[in-house]
Amino acid sequence: MSDIAHRFPENPLLMPKDLQSSSAELQVISLLNPGVFVFEKKIWLLIRVAEGIAQKEGVIFFPVINALGKVEILELPLNNPDLIVTDARIVQYKGLDYLTTISHLRLVCSEDGVHFHEPEDSSILMGSGILEQFGIEDCRVSKIADTYYLTYTAVSENGVGVGLRMTKDWKNFEIAGMILPPHNKDCAIFEEKINGKYYALHRPSSPQVGGNFIWLAESPDGIHWGNHKCIIKTRYGLWDSARVGAGAAPIKTDQGWLEIYHGANAEHQYCLGAFLMDPEDPSKIISRTIDPIMMPQENYELSGFFGYVVFTNGHIVEGDKLTIYYGAADEFVCGAYFSIKEILSALVPLNDNNQPVSIPTEI
Ligand code: MAN
């Protein structure tokens, strides 16, 4: 099966060897899931840089940030009966979860949207404090008036939540702290207020009753969020049966707010889909794609740190052209473009129960 994405022939645009590690003891394992924005007439990616430790036989090393803000390396023998390492991303030890890598956010820029470089004086965003001990990940960048809102995943032994920092100049950052507590990630703030209120998509998880669904929240100030509503659920038997999560800020179209989202099945295979929200009340879902608009198919998407993954949380819109930057196989940064019209025509209308409206057959 093919999809409707037009991948850049230059993919992967960035791979781990393209950036230096943040310290001598760490090595860059993956570059992935960039937030995207335009600043001073250039295209910028705020990339998640996942770093780890060179492994030795029979031992597992994993990094954490300690109370002093320094990276500390933890070490355990692989034959330890209390250790579970069945997923490349996670270490479970004595009932506690750790990550095999620790992520920070790094800026690269480009004039043509294809060739990116890291300016010498650019800021590096590291996790800070006990809620970001295992790093910060997958940042969405939303520009409202002259302020960039950075919503990212903050990971620590306390859980996975959404952190917010704000900047106007990409040099000075205001830290708003954790705006949505665990378990929550994939938060994208709308780039315009609707009827005087800020809106955001986010993805809490409810492990026993409920699931990994996309929710909508409102805010008077872009920092304090309430009136949460569950708007998009996983679909049994489809490619997005296990979890769904928002991509970047919704795109304003003449038909409503268009959102590109990721969905995964129980085998952790990640594809992209789309849904459309009512222009005046984004809690009303007008339509949703049934098949993925993009699914892993190139080698760099099928194999890497964690294969069979396409994941986006950043894009640029120019008329009908939507350019997404995406993480492939949790290891590489790639680019692809879509026609917004083509995505809109792949959407299937939903009824009030969020079920596809059946198309009447002609008699
Ligand atoms: C999941 C994956 C990882 C990520 C952790 C914490 O396991 O998305 O890539 O590091 O969650 O966010």
Contact in structure between 160 and 153 (CB atoms under 8 Å): yes
The reply to whether 31 falls in a domain is yes
Contact in structure between 37 and 148 (CB atoms under 8 Å): yes
In short, whether 90's Cβ falls inside 6 Å of ligand 1 is yes
The reply to whether 166 falls in a domain is yes
The pLDDT value given to residue 325: 98
The pLDDT value given to residue 358: 63
The pLDDT value given to residue 204: 98
Residue 167 to residue 44: CA distance in whole angstroms: 14
Among protein residues, the one whose CA lies closest to atom 8 of ligand 1: 89
In short, whether 183's Cβ falls inside 6 Å of ligand 1 is no
Residue 319 to residue 93: CA distance in whole angstroms: 50
In short, whether 14's Cβ falls inside 6 Å of ligand 1 is no
pTM of the model: 0.95
Among protein residues, the one whose CA lies closest to atom 4 of ligand 1: 89
The number of the ligand 1 atom at minimal distance from the alpha carbon of 50 is 10
Pocket test for ligand 1, best of 85, 89, 183 (most atoms within 8 A of CB): 89
Please give the angle made by the CA atoms of 267, 270 and 272, to the nearest 5 degrees.
Answer: 145
The number of the ligand 1 atom at minimal distance from the alpha carbon of 87 is 7
CA dihedral angle for residue 184, residue 190, residue 191, residue 194, rounded to 10 degrees: -140
The reply to whether 99 falls in a domain is yes
The pLDDT value given to residue 13: 98
The number of the ligand 1 atom at minimal distance from the alpha carbon of 330 is 9
The pLDDT value given to residue 359: 53
Residue-level pLDDT, tens digit, the chain, 363 residues: 689 999 999 999 999 999 999 999 899 999 999 999 999 999 999 999 999 998 788 999 888 888 787 888 888 999 999 999 889 899 999 988 899 999 999 999 999 999 999 999 999 999 999 999 999 999 999 999 999 999 999 999 999 999 999 999 999 999 999 999 999 999 999 999 999 999 999 999 998 999 999 999 999 999 999 999 999 999 999 999 999 999 999 999 999 999 999 999 999 999 999 999 999 999 999 999 999 999 999 999 999 999 999 999 999 999 999 999 999 999 999 999 999 999 999 999 998 777 887 655 454
Q: Which residue has the tokens 């100049």?
A: 169
In short, whether 264's Cβ falls inside 6 Å of ligand 1 is no
What are the backbone angles phi and psi of residue 344, rounded to the nearest 5°?
-60, -35
Greatest extent of the chain over all pairs of C-alpha atoms, in Å: 73
Among protein residues, the one whose CA lies closest to atom 7 of ligand 1: 89
CATH number at residue 39: 2.115.10.20
Provide the phi-psi class of 310: left if phi over 0, else alpha when psi is between -120 and 50, else beta. beta
In short, whether 160's Cβ falls inside 6 Å of ligand 1 is yes
- The three-state secondary structure class of 300 is helix
In short, whether 309's Cβ falls inside 6 Å of ligand 1 is no
Which residue segment(s) compose the domain that 112 sits in? 6-349
The pLDDT value given to residue 65: 84
The number of the ligand 1 atom at minimal distance from the alpha carbon of 306 is 9
- The three-state secondary structure class of 73 is strand
The pLDDT value given to residue 1: 63
| Other beta carbons less than 10 A from residue 363's beta carbon | 3
The pLDDT value given to residue 62: 87
The reply to whether 363 falls in a domain is no
The pLDDT value given to residue 71: 86
The reply to whether 359 falls in a domain is no
Please list, in sequence order, all residues whose beta carbon lies within 8 angstroms of the beta carbon of residue 319, skipping any fewer than 6 positions away. Answer: none
The reply to whether 356 falls in a domain is no
In short, whether 88's Cβ falls inside 6 Å of ligand 1 is no
Residue 214 to residue 186: CA distance in whole angstroms: 9
The reply to whether 182 falls in a domain is yes
Residue 354 to residue 136: CA distance in whole angstroms: 33
Take residue 126 and report the two structure tokens written for it.
């590291």
The reply to whether 360 falls in a domain is no
Q: How many domains does the chain have?
A: 1
